[in-house]
Amino acid sequence: MAFKTEAQKKVYEKMRDCLFTLFGEVNVTTMDDALVLQEGSTFVYVRAAAIGEKQASVEIFSYVVVDIDVTENLMRYLLEYNLKLVLGGFGLAIDENGKGTVVLTHAILGDTMDKQELYASVSAIARVADDLDDKLVEMFGGKTAQGKLNAPQPLIEVWE
């Protein structure tokens, strides 16, 4: 993997070591710039992102439902559900054909992250994504991410 900064590399290595310790190396798959764990019918991706030159974050996310019809009711449901979440929030990526991917994401500062914080973050995203994916498919259509281990999209650099 190519790192943008030394800080990103340091956080990636720390994150990887914590995940291997917490979940066992055999349960963590390396995929491009992310480490991936499976929970029920969902996958949780964990990756390090540079924040300028001196800091990095850890992004924990899951593609909850793919190929979903984007409707006002879906968007309203996701926004209202966000108010119930302690960690993370739902987002919606829309492709050129108008189909959506529901993403659940949470970020923590990598420099100060410890194993307990990473465990809590990964567990929260995994639990919510696995609990809601089938319900969202039933209510709004689309497919769960199970069996569709997609590579994460490139990070959009927002920190300067």
Per-residue pLDDT tens listing for the chain (160 residues): 789 999 999 999 999 999 999 999 989 999 988 999 988 888 999 999 999 999 999 999 999 999 999 999 999 999 999 999 999 999 999 999 999 999 999 999 999 999 999 999 999 999 999 999 999 999 999 998 874 544 354 455 554 4
Q: Which two tokens stand for residue 41?
A: 């019918």
d(CA 96, CA 44): 25
Nearest to 32 by CA among 159, 137, 153, 144: 153
Q: Which two tokens stand for residue 99?
A: 């189909």
Angle at CA of residue 110, ends 106 and 112, nearest 5°: 115
pTM of this structure: 0.87
Residue 64 burial class via C-beta count within 10 angstroms: exposed 0-12, middle 13-18, buried 19 and up: buried
Q: Which two tokens stand for residue 30?
A: 């390396």
**Residue 149's pLDDT is what?**
46
CB 50 within 8 A of CB 4: yes
